[in-house]
A and B are shown apart, each in its own frame.
Chain A
Amino acid sequence: MSDNYVPKSAVGKWFNERLPLLDLIYGHLMPYPTPKNLNYFWTFGGILTFCLVTQIITGLVLAMHYVADADLAFASVEHIMRDVNYGWLLRYIHANGASLFFMAVYIHMARSMFYGSYKEPRELIWIIGVFIFLLMIATAFMGYVLPWGQMSFWGATVITNLFSAIPIVGESVTNWLWGGYAVGSPLLTRFFTLHYLMPFLIFALVILHVWALHVPGNNNPEGIDVVKGSQDTVPFHPHYVVKDLFALVVFLIIFAGFVFFVPNLLGHSDNYIQANPLQTPEHIVPEWYFLPFYAILRAVPDKLGGVILMVSAIAILAFLPWLDTSKVRSAKYRPLYKQFVWLFFANTIFLGYLGAQVADGMYLIMGRIATVYYFAHFIIILPLLGYIEKTKPLPKSLSEPVLSKEEKEILASGATT
């Protein structure tokens, strides 16, 4: 397969000579050299792109029927559910799509942590990814406010009140955000505008993310450098196009399961009650994907401290490439890190569980311990491990770990096959 796209048609040639757009796309999708040993955890990049496009398309369509006004928003969502042709389907795809998007992004990030994909020379890919994650959080939160149910309203109230923790200017900042003295129509309208804008910013960052990825090429489960075009790489098409598509189909089956059988499983029933500024629901929880950060917020008995810690929990991710001092990427060859990274994943899930409980008694104490461990992983364990861990010897090529003893001996003896 050639590295350059050669258009077959005269129109294609005419176009490509003037704007080599097809050439560019072709290069990134077809011959792009990819390590031959990528496992299914590497299919989530494609799945996430699919999620983003799905959210944009369904969102665009929902925006044709939705009204961003405090008096009309709730009714317009019910109008979408009951009156608009297939409105129920479009809204359930969009709402569950957000959850599935976060499921996929957490697996994608965990993959990166486990196999050390964020390390030199891929730091910038990771940092762009952290910014994408930040924008996803903002987009998802604002989107959740739009149906203007009880959880929307009180979620918006709690989160915008975080800004009131800022010393001196806090109150002015929250009033500026609200466009008033409480959460209401002005906030809803601006959230709708921003919720519409941000996915396109994410899309732009995704392009940078992929561009930055295609400079050094993919990391791989062994975490070693592979030489592009060597025996260790295969062209992206058809090998990974087919693998990604298969993974996407499996993902879509799960997606369809949620949409068609349990569309409200991940939502909160209180959000089907119209927003009431005079009454807070008994137990207010964010969507599941924010629960670990919510638990961190509540673990701190100080208003400003809680906010700072919650923001730091996400911001610290951007420094991961330098906090991890080990030169070895993959957890496969780092016996201690392998245990600690699993402990970190378990601890984060545990924080998520705590975020869904009432912040009191034992739950609060456990929340504090888990919060301390979350940060200790980044600022104590990771920097130290690089110095004290005895890593396993790295293979010289991607083939070596899968060769039999005899085959290795043949290689060592210098024979060529």
Chain B
Amino acid sequence: MSDKPVTRRNFLYITTGTFTAAGAASLVWPFVDQMNPDASVKALASTEVDLRPIAPGQSITVLWRGKPVFIRRRTPEEISEAKAVSLDELPDPQDDAARAKNPEWLVMVGICTHLGCIPLGQKGEYNGWFCPCHGSHYDTSGRIRKGPAPTNLEIPDYVFLNDNTIKIG
């Protein structure tokens, strides 16, 4: 602090400046926030899926928040294959039990964690998913095993409403 006394003018300058800055910031916010997901988008934020038509070894893809979600009814072989993997072998270690609430049903966002393409099912070196864009290989639990993708396929929030229905989101 300098030795100069705080004058009435200093006070007016600072208070005016502060109020102007606060006012400007609160005015800018609506112009920024208008680009965020709006009420009509948020209203579509959850999707319910009937699981009955899906037989073991079949997958369906549903649209949730504009993104594809893979729902796969895994075969016993796929499940045991996923459970058999040692966590040390995984670039993004995660237990299969942590990824599938019910081991038979694998629910995950079908978007490659590398740059957003949709991986192809039951392809690749690990019999899981393979992304055609840049060659990422995922296993039967949707975990990254080989290629440029940094993490496992994302598991969305979902609950089993009953044995035959899940709600995503």
A360 at interface, CB cutoff 8 A:
no
B31 at interface, CB cutoff 8 A:
yes
Is the pair A64, B35 in contact by a Cβ cutoff of 8 Å? yes
A79, B31: Cα distance in complex, Å: 16
Find chain B residues with CB under 8 A from A64 CB: 34-35
Is the pair B38, A83 in contact by a Cβ cutoff of 8 Å? yes
A89, B27: Cα distance in complex, Å: 10
Find chain A residues with CB under 8 A from B34 CB: 61, 64-65, 84-87, 90
A86, B39: Cα distance in complex, Å: 11
B33 at interface, CB cutoff 8 A:
yes
A83, B43: Cα distance in complex, Å: 10
Contact digits for B36-47, partner A, Cβ 8 Å, 1 yes 0 no: 101111000000
Contact digits for A70-102, partner B, Cβ 8 Å, 1 yes 0 no: 000000000100111111011000000000000
A61, B31: Cα distance in complex, Å: 7
Is the pair A86, B40 in contact by a Cβ cutoff of 8 Å? no
A57 at interface, CB cutoff 8 A:
yes
Is the pair B30, A86 in contact by a Cβ cutoff of 8 Å? yes
A280, B38: Cα distance in complex, Å: 34
Partner of A90, one of B30, B39, B41: B30
Nearest-neighbour CB distance to chain A for B165, whole angstroms, equals 28
Is the pair A83, B39 in contact by a Cβ cutoff of 8 Å? yes
A252, closest chain B residue (CB): B23
A90, B27: Cα distance in complex, Å: 10
Find chain B residues with CB under 8 A from A86 CB: 29-31, 33-34
Is the pair B31, A90 in contact by a Cβ cutoff of 8 Å? yes
A58, closest chain B residue (CB): B31
Is the pair A82, B30 in contact by a Cβ cutoff of 8 Å? no
Partner of A89, one of B30, B35, B36, B41: B30
Find chain B residues with CB under 8 A from A90 CB: 30-31, 34
Find chain B residues with CB under 8 A from A82 CB: 39
B31, closest chain A residue (CB): A61
A88, closest chain B residue (CB): B30
Is the pair B31, A85 in contact by a Cβ cutoff of 8 Å? no
A87, B31: Cα distance in complex, Å: 9
A93, closest chain B residue (CB): B30
Nearest-neighbour CB distance to chain A for B107, whole angstroms, equals 29
Nearest-neighbour CB distance to chain A for B159, whole angstroms, equals 27
A60, closest chain B residue (CB): B31
Nearest-neighbour CB distance to chain A for B26, whole angstroms, equals 11
B35, closest chain A residue (CB): A64
Nearest-neighbour CB distance to chain B for A62, whole angstroms, equals 9
Is the pair B40, A85 in contact by a Cβ cutoff of 8 Å? no
B39, closest chain A residue (CB): A83
Most chain B CB atoms below 10 A, which of A61, A65, A86: A86
Find chain A residues with CB under 8 A from B29 CB: 86
B42, closest chain A residue (CB): A83
A65, B31: Cα distance in complex, Å: 12
Most chain A CB atoms below 10 A, which of B31, B34, B39, B40: B34
A86, B31: Cα distance in complex, Å: 8
Partner of B36, one of A61, A79, A85: A85
Contact digits for A93-113, partner B, Cβ 8 Å, 1 yes 0 no: 000000000000000000000
Find chain A residues with CB under 8 A from B30 CB: 85-86, 89-90
Nearest-neighbour CB distance to chain B for A149, whole angstroms, equals 21
Is the pair B31, A84 in contact by a Cβ cutoff of 8 Å? no
Nearest-neighbour CB distance to chain A for B32, whole angstroms, equals 9
Nearest-neighbour CB distance to chain B for A126, whole angstroms, equals 34
A87, B40: Cα distance in complex, Å: 12
A83, B34: Cα distance in complex, Å: 10
Q: Which of B1-52 contact A (CB under 8 A)?
A: 29-31, 33-36, 38-41
18 contacts between A and B (CB under 8 A): A57-B31, A61-B31, A61-B34, A64-B34, A79-B40, A83-B39, A83-B40, A83-B41, A85-B34, A85-B38, A85-B39, A86-B29, A86-B30, A86-B31, A86-B33, A87-B34, A89-B30, A90-B34
Given A79-B38, A84-B38, A89-B30, 5 additional A-B pairs, CB 8 A: A57-B31, A65-B34, A83-B39, A85-B33, A86-B29
**Which 5 A-B pairs rank lowest in CB-CB distance, beginning with the nearest?**
A86-B30, A83-B39, A83-B40, A85-B33, A83-B38
Binding site for B on A (CB under 8 A): 57, 61, 64-65, 79, 82-87, 89-90
